[in-house]
Amino acid sequence: MSLRNLDFEDLKRKIKPKIQPLIWDSTRKVLHVLDQRKLPHCVEYYEARGPEDVHYCIKNMLVRGAPAIGIAAAYGIAMAAHTLSARTTSLEEIYLKLSEVGQFLKTARPTAVNLEWAITTMLEHARGMVDSKSVSSTRELAEALERLAVKIQEEEFELELKIAIHGLEKLEGCSSVMTQCNAGGLAGAGLGTALAPIKLAKYLGMDIKVYVPETRPWLQGARLTVYELRVENIPHVLIADTAVGYVMYKGLVDALIVGADRILRDGHVINKIGTFKQAVIAHELGVPFYVAAPKSTFDLKRRVNEIVIEERDPDEVRKIGNVLITLPDTPVYNPVFDITPPRYVTAIITELGVIYPPYHVNVPRLLER
């Protein structure tokens, strides 16, 4: 089946996300955040009324996934602008205060580059409007920033659909794949990155079975990816994290496809802990290993030794839910991301196209053109 003649505009009109992790209330200026800590058993939204609430949602993983975190941060800046516009008439003053809000939001989680990208995009737009005098009041500035946040969310969905099209071309002929963590609609604007090609396959009448590692310690695979696949009626099998090698050894998966929280210009991929292990095993067994991510996930400035890998509460490992599974004073090392060297990555799927090795040449060639 040739996928190259798919009509993007037609697909955009017809494909609607079944999952909405972030819903903007333009009347009340409130962001409704799907509390992913409570999935899959409870679907509940948290009302974020300002940047402090957005920071709480990101830091405490009510919202997670690099693209979704970026979208939430953009709305955090927009909400701050609306609040500040009622308190000051100075455009310069509101910009300076928004810059402080941006720095505050960046501290929520250090690893996903989309957070920094979205905040920078919002602040640069504000700076440009202030300098060019294209807005005459703080209220106009706030309204313009709200429109930009909405645009960032809408464009995220469009690029996820483009990733789906490019990704499905790479997965053509695959009957089963393995993923890691949750890189679906819950982590983005409705389609996701790694799950987007699989959802498009379902829409086109194709079934691709997904092997889902549980993804300790937060169990994003067991709780979130399984939930998404159930909602989309996509065949799936949950496996223990320790089973990924054996599943590949048995020839049960044709390819692996994962998302990313940051990709460097030389092709190093920073993603949920366990990704590196999967990539090495896939490389050893000759199974293609694909990474799906938008342009906003690429960091073309930093080197691998400059990346801060987030470490979280040791109790996330000591416990499952509220149940202690080891001795309470057991020392714990809990990095929540790892780094996959480029030699283990078969290709990187973006909204602009597919990038192949050598990444240090082809990543900047595609993204900087």
> What is the sign, positive or negative, of the torsion defined by CA atoms of 309, 310, 314, 315?
negative
Could you give the strand order of the β-sheet that contains 45-48, starting from the edge strand earlier in sequence? 22-25, 30-34, 45-48
Residues 6+ apart with CB under 8 A from 103: none
261 catalytic per annotation: yes
For the chain, how many helices (H) and strands (E)?
13, 16
Q: Where are the beta strands (DSSP E) in 36-80?
A: 45-48
Query: Nearest Cα to 67, choosing from 353, 292, 365, 327?
Result: 292
Single-letter code of the amino acid located at 80: A
Interatomic CA distance for residues 44 and 36, integer angstroms? 8
Catalytic residue, from 261, 299, 313, 338: name it: 261
Question: What are the phi and psi torsion angles at 60 (to 5°)?
Answer: -100, 10
Residues 6+ apart with CB under 8 A from 77: 51, 98, 101, 102, 105, 119, 122, 123, 126, 145, 149
Q: Which two tokens stand for residue 193?
A: 């990155």
Interatomic CA distance for residues 344 and 282, integer angstroms? 8
Query: Which residues are the active-site residues?
Result: 261
